[in-house]
Structure 1
């Protein structure tokens, strides 16, 4: 994947790049069940909006890692503006390279629409690394778009090829993995799923998280997002890209019917060396 679309989005200031947007993020945060002093990792932290949202609500220490320097530049700026440099650390990762953290470093790990778009080898490497850096009985939470049951494999391959060509991203997993396949994959890598609901079936939660954010600092984060969005509308090159991507998104508007967005909550338990459990 070349992530060309994500590089463009980094310059436009957009946040919450996943199905159900901010609402899905709030549901994910609630499922993390955060406790004071915990060490928390976000994989694929993007422009840092979720990291900041958590830091403003809970007294935890956060690490964020992302492949794209363009995203990290915005995230660093956001963290600095919100006065959170002592609570949030950011660093750049490398594709298909082990995470640069010691074993059992984190109480909680989460990601948003990162795991589900990987090829099979990358997804399995990623799960192995998450298992490694989590503490015993640590929690991994992720919201992902996965293939619905019954979608022909040739349709999946066609959709993913087009997504890679036009956006540098897949619609969902390279393999035709549905919910049972994902649950088997998690189990094989040492995770027990305690919940995996459809995001569309969950009640609306906007504004219902138990800990209120610090309004002044949250406003700074949102102001940065709006400023970047405004600047992108005044930039001729970005305007051309915006028109091009809007046309491409219109062409792909029907692809979403083949996937379903789920919120997975998983506990680190023990690995199951059972080849039959693999997708």
Structure 2
């Protein structure tokens, strides 16, 4: 059986896999105004680490979706253990199963790059209320790759394209977002927070070749550490 990178994350049950981990999520949410009337959609919730953090710290209405059934299973288990009041659905973010203008915040943590961006970002715009914010932490080309390097990354991660900062911003504007804030964050600011290291909720009977894929991911991260990074984008729907 051939495993994708998202299969790797799901079967190992890796929480906090996005750049900056839960520490970055905390820092972002500290700057937000959230009340009982705030309605949040987390897309690509994974094992539910961020989901649990949000609902346990903020008085809001929270919905979470993910396209991977194993992720949904593990996130549901986590949320049920704490009896968190979260609506969680298995769904494709390219066709979000919610009505227009329903959410005040849409959160995507290293998810959008794995989708058809031309479909996904307009969906985020559609479900956001006027005045609402799209918050993304996304893989970004920091320095140019040659075609072979880009091909290697695209094939390994199963992404359709690798965007630089300007190309991300163009995608947001094309979907209708006009007010875009791009934040440069050094991941080194967060790696020393011991409690925020990635956690694991491993499935049973994991094939050894899955760990080989994890090693390949770590090798690529090291190989391209000067060229591949991430950005935080905050886009407001006016």
Which interval holds the TM-score relative to the shorter structure?
0.7 to 0.9
Please name the residue that 1:134 is paired with: 128
Pick from 85, 89, 92 the counterpart of residue 90 of structure 2: 92
Give the Å deviation of 1:242.
4.8
Give the Å deviation of 1:19.
1.5
Report the Cα distance in structure 2 between the residues aligned to 1:202 and 1:193, rounded to whole angstroms.
Answer: 28
Gapped regions of structure 2 (runs ≥ 5): none
Asked if structure 2 preserves the Cα contact closer than 8 Å seen for 1:28 and 1:143, the reply is no
Please name the residue that 1:174 is paired with: 161
Asked if structure 2 preserves the Cα contact closer than 8 Å seen for 1:66 and 1:93, the reply is yes
Please name the residue that 1:258 is paired with: 227
Report the Cα distance in structure 2 between the residues aligned to 1:185 and 1:113, rounded to whole angstroms.
Answer: 16
Please name the residue that 1:249 is paired with: 217
Asked if structure 1 preserves the Cα contact closer than 8 Å seen for 2:140 and 2:229, the reply is yes
Report the Cα distance in structure 1 between the residues aligned to 2:14 and 2:148, rounded to whole angstroms.
Answer: 32
Please name the residue that 1:25 is paired with: 25
Give the Å deviation of 1:206.
9.0
Please name the residue that 1:200 is paired with: 186
Give the Å deviation of 1:9.
2.9
Report the Cα distance in structure 2 between the residues aligned to 1:33 and 1:116, rounded to whole angstroms.
Answer: 27
Task: Give the 3 Å change call, closer, same or farther, for CA 133–206 of structure 1 in structure 2.
Answer: farther
Report the Cα distance in structure 1 between the residues aligned to 2:179 and 2:25, rounded to whole angstroms.
Answer: 19
Task: Give the 3 Å change call, closer, same or farther, for CA 249–179 of structure 1 in structure 2.
Answer: closer
Give the Å deviation of 1:248.
2.2
Given the two structures, how large is their TM-score scaled by the length of structure 1? Answer: 0.73
Give the Å deviation of 1:67.
0.4
Please name the residue that 2:153 is paired with: 159
Q: Please tell me whether Structure 1 or Structure 2 has the larger radius of gyration of its CA atoms.
A: 1
Please name the residue that 2:139 is paired with: 145
Asked if structure 2 preserves the Cα contact closer than 8 Å seen for 1:65 and 1:91, the reply is yes
Task: Give the 3 Å change call, closer, same or farther, for CA 257–205 of structure 1 in structure 2.
Answer: closer
Deviations along 1:85-105, one digit per CA (max 9) or x if unpaired, are xx2001111374x21100101
Pick from 105, 121, 130 the counterpart of residue 108 of structure 1: 105
Asked if structure 1 preserves the Cα contact closer than 8 Å seen for 2:169 and 2:180, the reply is no
Please name the residue that 2:6 is paired with: 6
Report the Cα distance in structure 2 between the residues aligned to 1:9 and 1:151, rounded to whole angstroms.
Answer: 25
| Superposition RMSD in Å | 2.8
Asked if structure 1 preserves the Cα contact closer than 8 Å seen for 2:20 and 2:191, the reply is no
Report the Cα distance in structure 2 between the residues aligned to 1:254 and 1:43, rounded to whole angstroms.
Answer: 29
Report the Cα distance in structure 2 between the residues aligned to 1:262 and 1:243, rounded to whole angstroms.
Answer: 28
Give the Å deviation of 1:43.
0.7
Q: What SS class does the counterpart of residue 196 from structure 1 fall into?
A: strand
